[in-house]
Amino acid sequence: MIAIIDYGAGNIQSVSKALKHIGCDCFITNKKDEILSADGAVLPGVGSFGDTVDSLNKYGIKEAVIEFINSGKPFLGICLGLQLLFPGSEESEGAEGLGVFDGTITKIPNGDGLKIPHMGWNSLKITKDSRLFKGIEENPYVYFVHSYFLNAADKSIVAAQTEYGVTIDAAVEKGNVFATQFHPEKSGNTGLRILKNFVDIVGG
C-alpha cells in the first residue's frame, strides 16, 4: 500500500488517479501513523517551496516524511517533492527543506527568450543505471511545470537531466529515495511506466 502525502495542496488527485490506473493500492493521508505504516510513500508538490514547508509543519508531517525516508522504505518525490529533499530554495529564503540531499534550487534564467516557468514537454537524458527508468526508451519526453531547478552537489545521485537554457537535474535516485522534477502522472505512457517501476520497487 502506497501513501500519497497530503499537505493541503498539490497535484494529489492526479497522482492518485494515475497510480490506481496502473492497479496500485494507494491512499491519500496527512496522518503521521498512516504515512509511517505504508509500504511506500509519494510526496507530490506544486506551488511555492516556503508555503509547502509551512504546510508540512502545520500538519505535523515534516518529521514523519524524514522518518519514513530514514526507515529505508521506497519514497518518491514529484516536482516540488524533489526540491523539498534539499536544504532550501532561492524561491523562499529561510524555509528549511528536508535536507536529505545537498544541492541548490535556483530560478531558471530567462535568457535567450525562454519562457518561465518551464512548462510543457521536454526530453530527458538518463544519466545512470536507474531502477526508476527501467525499460524506458532513450531520451523520453516528459511533462514539466517549474520555475526553479535543482543543481545537485553530488552528481552520482542524478538519474536524469534535461536542458532548458541550463542543465537541469531532472531526477534523483539513491537507495530508497527517488524523485522527479517532471510530472510522471502527466507524462503519458512513459510517466505511467515510471510510476509502475516505483510500484514494483515498493512491492520488492
Name the residues annotated as catalytic. 79, 183, 185
Q: How far apart are CA 34 and CA 37, in angstroms?
A: 5
DSSP 3-state of 70: helix
User: 3-state class of 41 per DSSP?
Assistant: strand
3-state helix, strand, coil in the chain (%, to 5): 30, 30, 40
**Orientation angle between helical segments 12-21 and 188-203, nearest 10 degrees:** 80
Cα distances (Å, whole numbers) of residue 161 to 92, 122, 139, 151, 191: 24, 10, 10, 10, 15
Cβ atoms within 10 Å, residue 114: 12
Q: What DSSP designation does 94 have?
A: T
CA angle 198/201/204 to nearest 5° reads: 155
